[in-house]
Structure 1
Amino acid sequence: MIHRLFPRPFLSLTVFLLWTVITNAAPPGLLLLGALLAIVVPRLTRPFWPDPPRLVRPGQALRFLGVFALDIVTANWRVARQVIGPLHRLSPAFVEVPLDLRDPFVATLLASVVSLTPGTLSIDVDRQRWTLLIHALDAPDPQALVREIKTRYESPLKEIFAC
């Protein structure tokens, strides 16, 4: 019964928590609407995720979210300094990151993480060659950027989802 009501309990919990954070209020009506969304959204999106990867290391996922949040703050500061400073010092580049993971959902999640980090933008996940094409605002050493993405983001995601 519970599994039918909450086919993806973690997604339901995430939707509910995000709703409460976004609304920044706790009146019963808003909480009830958040609970309703937490039930409806996973059911409506189920056809789009026929075989979602299983989260096997939730503790590491929390640590990953902390690193990611810190990277967003740090990258915002770095990008602001770069954009305000002399633009001729920037070394924009398209960089291909070879992927070790083979799960389409996790590859898309990695692309989203890269895009949400200021200064980088995911352009394509090539599922034939398993590469992630990104554009970096400043990449004087493209291989260093590849190593950073693989160690800070790809490796933890592989462990979190065991793929």
Structure 2
Amino acid sequence: MKRDDAGAVNNPLRANIALTLERERAKRGLSHMHMAELFRTAEGEKLAYRTYIQTVRQKNNVTLTTLQIMANGLHVAVAELLSGGKKKLPERAHQLDETAIRRRLAHIIDMERQRRNMLRYEMAELIGVAEATFMKLERASGNISVDTIAAIAKALKLDPATFLFRDKVPPT
């Protein structure tokens, strides 16, 4: 995604994630340092404090893997982080982990590619990613970033905060 003159990226997903993190921090009465302590991986490694702060400040392109670590630490759904808690999500959305979200995204772009009768390279161009990245998206592999998710939503004219969680993807 492109940066403005101030260096900020206009990505509603970054804003939603930052909003949710700040809301959870305030609800728990934690400092930023203590909030960052909540984010440990299954292997016991903690997410870097810098990653947490940059995410709150909307300065980094956080990935689904990082979001999953944050969601686990807060005991919330990845969908809640992506939506910012602003929109009512279907109950099943709260059950989706990063792997299920990758599969859902792969399904959506494949459906859209077929519906539009596009070749893979054409769809990659439409959503603004390299063909190699598109192939990873299509196979539901790789560590997808929120900027990529937002770019796909924008290209398909869908709401970036909710399109992954709808039953059907509306035609564009």
Same fold (TM over 0.5): no
Higher Rg of the two aligned structures: 1
Structure ranking higher in helix proportion: 1
TM range (shorter): under 0.3
> Normalized against structure 2, the TM-score is what?
0.25
Structure ranking higher in strand proportion: 1
